[in-house]
Amino acid sequence: MISPIDGKVERRSVMNLKVEEKRTAPRVAVQFQAMVSGSVESEGTGMVRDLSRNGCRLESPLLMLPGLSLELRIAVPGLEWALMIDGADVQWADEDRAGLAFVRIRETERQRLYEVVAARLAKGPDIGDDAQSELIPFEFQGLEAVLSKDPELAIRKGLAWFAQDRAEFPFRGGSLLSRAFPTCTPEFAAALGELVKAGGEREADFCLALLQNYLGSTSTDDVSKEIVSRCSHDVRIMGGVRTIINSPSMASVSGEFRLAEAWRVKKESLTRWLTDERQAVRTFAEEHIAELDRIIVAERRRVEVERELRERSRHEDESGHDDGYRAKPF
């Protein structure tokens, strides 16, 4: 069931509000990639920062205007399935940053959100905006143009940056490579696949970090399959692969069953894995397709139940019933 977090959002101050007021819920400094849909530009990616139970700060090249309602699918390390936020209203926007209030989220997702925030709070004290500002990417003036012409050089440089500092890689080297390769071209995917094939755990982790730039795209499937083939025994790395796969694109689906339809499209893309010559890839695909079947059935059932509840509530309102109150007979 979709429900608002902490009741309601004060709409009077949503437009053009640069959230300076005190936050009522603790926030944590995070660096989570996310798929974003519902913006003026339909769909794209972004980086979630300053996460709380009520909302977050989002950094994205997408055009985000105050008053828009976005859908987020947040890739959280350690979670196989992306965290789903059905409604995140833009409170304020400043160039490539925006403050979002979570106003619609399913009960199961809200519980997962609470657990993520609680786990991060347990790691250490809250980090303020000043500390966050130090994590912005380096200004590699013109370097992305050079790297975009040479995928192998880009990957060598990226791997070196990744080895230096994995935590900040998404905001420095990873951000640069996402600008050099805004889409995962066949040449770039092939070079990443070769890196996985010749490398080990570090190379697989590096590729997974890069694939976060292309959530929802099937252009990275060959890289994911190579990682599955090489690292099927590694639970942590396989969890990273599932996180990449479990971020469906919402750009081509619509209607109340749009999430179930997005999962169906993702399932269809995985059927191509069933003919792969590598047993580990086929086994992974079979297991994940079965899991997606269960997810699709559950999602359709959820939508149908919510629709039935809305219809029941509407009929009760039309019949004049007042929240179930019945006068007692004398």
- Mean pLDDT, range 62-83, rounded to an integer: 85
- Mean pLDDT, range 218-230, rounded to an integer: 95
Residue 68: burial class (beta carbons within 10 Å; 0-12, 13-18, 19+): middle
User: What is the per-residue pLDDT across 96-128, written as a single tens digit (0 to 9) for each?
Assistant: 889 999 999 988 899 999 988 888 887 654 444
The model's pTM is 0.66
Among residues 12, 35, 88, 21, the alpha carbon closest in space to that of 57 is found at: 88
Lowest mean pLDDT among 1-10, 85-94, 222-231: 1-10
| pLDDT, greater one: 193 or 262 | 193
Max Cα separation, the chain?
A: 87
**Helical spans, DSSP H, in the chain:** 107-123, 129-133, 143-147, 151-164, 173-180, 186-198, 201-211, 221-231, 235-245, 258-271, 279-318
| pLDDT, greater one: 167 or 128 | 167
Domain 2-133, classified CATH 2.40.10.220, yes or no: yes
Q: CA 19, CA 310: separation in Å to the nearest integer?
A: 33
pLDDT band at 270; cut points 50, 70, 90: very high
Provide φ and ψ at 4, rounded to 5°. -75, 150
Lowest mean pLDDT among 15-24, 150-159, 187-196, 234-243: 15-24
* pLDDT at 201 exceeding the cut of 80: yes
Extents of the domains making up the chain: 2-133, 143-306
Q: CA 326, CA 310: separation in Å to the nearest integer?
A: 21
Predicted local distance difference test score (pLDDT) of residue 228? 97
What's the mean per-residue pLDDT of the chain? Answer: 80
* pLDDT at 257 exceeding the cut of 50: yes
Give percent of the chain above pLDDT 70. Answer: 80
Provide φ and ψ at 229, rounded to 5°. -60, -40
* pLDDT at 189 exceeding the cut of 90: yes
Predicted local distance difference test score (pLDDT) of residue 279? 96
Contact 121, 26 (CB under 8 A): yes
- Mean pLDDT, range 169-189, rounded to an integer: 87
* pLDDT at 151 exceeding the cut of 90: yes
- Mean pLDDT, range 52-67, rounded to an integer: 88
Among residues 8, 82, 89, the alpha carbon closest in space to that of 45 is found at: 82
Lowest mean pLDDT among 134-143, 163-172, 305-314: 134-143
Predicted local distance difference test score (pLDDT) of residue 320? 61
CA pseudo-torsion sign 182, 183, 184, 185:
negative
